[in-house]
Structure 1
């Protein structure tokens, strides 16, 4: 392992990027340093050298537990409240498809819910008695506006004599990529006796998560996005008192206990064992988590080190970089009056694109334009960004990360100016 790694260009040398490629879209797929790549390959080689021995007598007996211990310590919770899944979507499906629903039950989600999660909720509405109710708002809304809209939905559900069973909301939403008032929403759920499910896909390694203080009923978070762990690895947090609600994995593994053999409360060890063997996969990425957490301790930014350096740097870089790009484009950064939406490592800049050009009768035109912008930025300029339509405009989400500097945002601004000009001149093809 290395000693100290300053944020910026020196940190970039620890990643396997093509010299001609700039990743300003870390939030989509993440990446990890070459030191962790070596750890990943070591575990893969150990697996293939003695498959049965490694999987049965090393991975399942102690290596997986060591990983869970490292994640639990990082999140400030007991080890047996944390299990691993390949991604946050798998963890989310595991939660909501284990719960039992009856007529009158309602699941609440936000209007910026992750599309895959929304699809799962729609599937539940089609196959169970549960009803889905969205909290509607348009960003940039204030934290209070979002929480007020949430409470209004609770009132409407109560007036219909229905029951809010579960509420789903983000730590940081995907598109737009903004920080949500998840702490306040979790407290509102607790106050109103509603199960809280926090979509922390962009949480761990990105913003401080003190789960002992937050006390959500469920939380899922991708380690492979912001914690510098290889894909795919996510943590599913379930406090002991809720573990009886999750009796099966997806797919159902060998640890499943049928109802006629099940007590009301599953022992914690049984809950953990249920997730230890969910079909045969290459789980080497899981085992890299302790090494990734240790590697991050070497990061420095000014007088700051480790997690403080990483989190503060990526947030500061995203905020400054977003303002630079917005100035270059003559537009704006998505932010509310309180400045809370941008308190994360992603920024959203409005693109100078007229959404009324071309075939305005095409409801999917915004998606087509955004897809063309993303592809053109990647293919012609070697810069990864995430453009998307929202509220009648086209925006771009840019991610800060320890391997980036402000000049990366400046080059992106120049390229985006050229690409947007082509769109406005009609020189784009869906």
Structure 2
């Protein structure tokens, strides 16, 4: 049945006189209009939350769904595993790892849950989970639950970071936490860290920290939710113990889809997928009952292949998204070169319009990705305390109003300006995270700068108070 799947629509290739493929699409608004499905006036400046797909990939997903409905049993039992293997092979090439080390899960948080739920915590109550204070909120909640539900067998330790800092300081903070854990009579068992953190959206030296984990005898669990399609990845070189990355954020794959990498040496530690299903292989000897067709795959790969009746068509689209990016966009290297440059140059332009700055260190390593964090001209005032020296000239909002202002900023961007940007408070002021993408150009960042300037001026005048009063009135009526 897999032979009946149609290839994605791409233009015929031809080389120009300089040897370049002149059918590879130019980036910017023309690409947006031809290939993507945004509303005519919507500016998608937030690729980092939910991603988006081109029309060609939406058509592929619907094709797989149609095939599943045409002959459900034949497709799910026999065609689906073969198509899934094709996607596993394609994504393994992008990550530069063997195919037998990758499977798919619904999202990065599921991958982190899978690792933490499978690890065995010692009965001596000394095991400890390390994580940085930049951990994604959902994964932070997972750590809290694991600590709570294991009845004292495992604890957690937060590693504080203050940005901007150099990569060496991050590694040093990890080593300090390991030392402190051991001095407290604990056993640091696993450390969770990012490829690119969420808020602020900055590059994390994950390869260096993974190497430090190996030296310290600590398992490395890399949350690459922001990873594949956003930065260049070589997992054979980085060699983490566990790695998960969302494909739906930056790889133009439908939601939700994440690649879960476990090197062969650690696959025995992952005893079950979440949920446990037909692919589980018990350790006890004897016949292993299953409704799935027999195959020669490893227990690790087999248990993630079928975990219930879910629409896993996004997994099948991974190979098509990678091919589309190669044939229409010119491949991963060209995409990253454009989006990284646009994020840095566009972010600087937004900061120039706002009279502020971007978040980076002296080495420039924090901005080596396709997102940029720009400071807003708006500060948080704590009681009667004077603002910090570098914030003294900014309009300020009382600390008690800060949460409501953050909500107002995001909602007003949506309803008044037809866009969305993450807003967060860091270092006593508001920041925003802007995503660069192949369907954006410098004019989009120029527009974002002017829009944010107007938005902050409205907030400084107290317009958020009117909105809060209106909502309160509606609730009381």
TM-score for both structures, normalised by structure 2? 0.85
User: Alpha carbons of 1:368 and 1:258: their partners in 2 closer, same or farther (altered >3 Å)?
Assistant: farther
**Partner residue, 1:348:** 373
**Partner residue, 1:119:** 141
**Partner residue, 2:80:** 59
Distance 1:366 1:173 in 2: 23
Q: CA deviation at 1:2?
A: 2.4
User: Alpha carbons of 1:323 and 1:358: their partners in 2 closer, same or farther (altered >3 Å)?
Assistant: closer
From 401, 404, 413, give the equivalent of 2:437.
401
From 70, 76, 95, give the equivalent of 1:49.
70
SS state at 1:347 partner:
strand
**Partner residue, 2:156:** 132
Give the gaps of 5 or more residues in structure 2: 1-8, 12-23, 287-295, 382-395, 469-477
| Cα displacement string for residues 212-236 of structure 1 (whole angstroms, at most 9, x for unaligned residues) | 1111100000000111111111000
SS state at 2:463 partner:
coil
Q: 5 Å matches for 1:77-92?
A: 77-92=97-112
SS state at 1:131 partner:
strand
Higher alpha-carbon deviation: 117-126 or 367-376: 367-376
Distance 2:321 2:137 in 1: 29
Larger Rg: 2
**Partner residue, 1:10:** 30
**Partner residue, 1:104:** 126
| Cα displacement string for residues 39-86 of structure 1 (whole angstroms, at most 9, x for unaligned residues) | 1111111111111111112103x1111111111122111111101001
Q: CA deviation at 1:358?
A: 5.0
Q: Is residue 2:90 matched to residue 1:76?
A: no
Distance 1:161 1:51 in 2: 55
Q: Is residue 2:309 matched to residue 1:276?
A: no
Q: CA deviation at 1:298?
A: 2.7
**Partner residue, 2:16:** none
Q: How many pairs align? A: 418
Residues 383 and 412 in structure 1, CA contact (< 8 A), matched pair in contact too: no
**Partner residue, 2:45:** 24
Distance 1:48 1:268 in 2: 26
Displaced runs of 4 or more, over 6 A: none
Q: Is residue 2:356 matched to residue 1:323?
A: no
Q: Is residue 2:185 matched to residue 1:161?
A: yes
**Partner residue, 1:334:** 359
Q: CA deviation at 1:359?
A: 4.6
Residues 5 and 11 in structure 1, CA contact (< 8 A), matched pair in contact too: yes
Distance 2:147 2:283 in 1: 24
Residues 243 and 271 in structure 1, CA contact (< 8 A), matched pair in contact too: yes
From 323, 334, 340, give the equivalent of 1:294.
323
Distance 1:351 1:195 in 2: 38
| Cα displacement string for residues 270-299 of structure 1 (whole angstroms, at most 9, x for unaligned residues) | 111101111211111111111110111135
**Partner residue, 2:60:** 39
Distance 1:307 1:408 in 2: 22
Q: Which has the higher contact order (CA 8 A, sep 6+)?
A: 1
Distance 1:172 1:368 in 2: 27
Q: 5 Å matches for 1:221-232?
A: 221-232=245-256
Distance 2:110 2:36 in 1: 27
**Partner residue, 1:172:** 196
Distance 1:74 1:347 in 2: 24
Higher alpha-carbon deviation: 214-223 or 73-82: 73-82
| Cα displacement string for residues 187-219 of structure 1 (whole angstroms, at most 9, x for unaligned residues) | 001111111011111111111111111111000
Residues 6 and 299 in structure 1, CA contact (< 8 A), matched pair in contact too: no
**Partner residue, 2:290:** none
From 243, 258, 269, give the equivalent of 1:219.
243
**Partner residue, 1:375:** 411
Residues 318 and 400 in structure 1, CA contact (< 8 A), matched pair in contact too: yes
Q: Is residue 2:175 matched to residue 1:151?
A: yes
Give the gaps of 5 or more residues in structure 1: none
Residues 106 and 163 in structure 1, CA contact (< 8 A), matched pair in contact too: yes
SS state at 2:185 partner:
coil
**Partner residue, 1:184:** 208
Distance 2:342 2:403 in 1: 27
SS state at 1:6 partner:
coil
TM-score for both structures, normalised by structure 1? 0.94
Q: CA deviation at 1:354?
A: 2.5
Q: CA deviation at 1:370?
A: 2.0
Q: CA deviation at 1:127?
A: 1.5
